Structure 1
Amino acid sequence: MDAEAALAWLDAIIPPQTGEQLRDLQKVILVQVWLGRKYLDIAHSYGCTEGHAKDAGSQLWDFQEINYPILWGGQLARL
């Protein structure tokens, strides 16, 4: 699975589980972290602070609460 496939998968399962859509920054973070980029680089290219990017990323990673653990390093743990 590549980053775009992972994004499509999460974009399909998060709304029914949480009632919320992924925000644009969260989508960017998912793809860029998958590709090995750092939050500071992501923030600069997105036009926000590193802290804001980290906060958005933290909300994305908190998705684990509905039992879809995410392992980074280029892999989704459960599909």
Structure 2
Amino acid sequence: MKLIIRYFASVREQLGISQEIVHVDTPELTIDRLRIRLASRDERMADVLLGGRPLRTAVNQEMVSESFVVREDSEIAFFPPVTGG
């Protein structure tokens, strides 16, 4: 399955990339499992995606929970929570 992964704001800055295309060998995958799979690639990804700080996730431009199941050709965006004031 092909997924487009986009990184925004401080997530993008820490990783040094704004997007990538990832191929996974399963027809569906939860956001939580995707984060674990991406984090397993290297220490920097692990720090950003699993480092204990909150991350928001959107799939195809809609906010989703960690249990949301992504499918072929989905666009997944990771970004920090937005604060206002």
Alignment TM-score, normalising by the size of structure 2:
0.30
Q: Give the structure, 1 or 2, with the largest relative contact order (CA under 8 Å, sep 6 or more).
A: 2
Alignment TM-score, normalising by the size of structure 1:
0.30
Higher share of residues assigned helix = 1
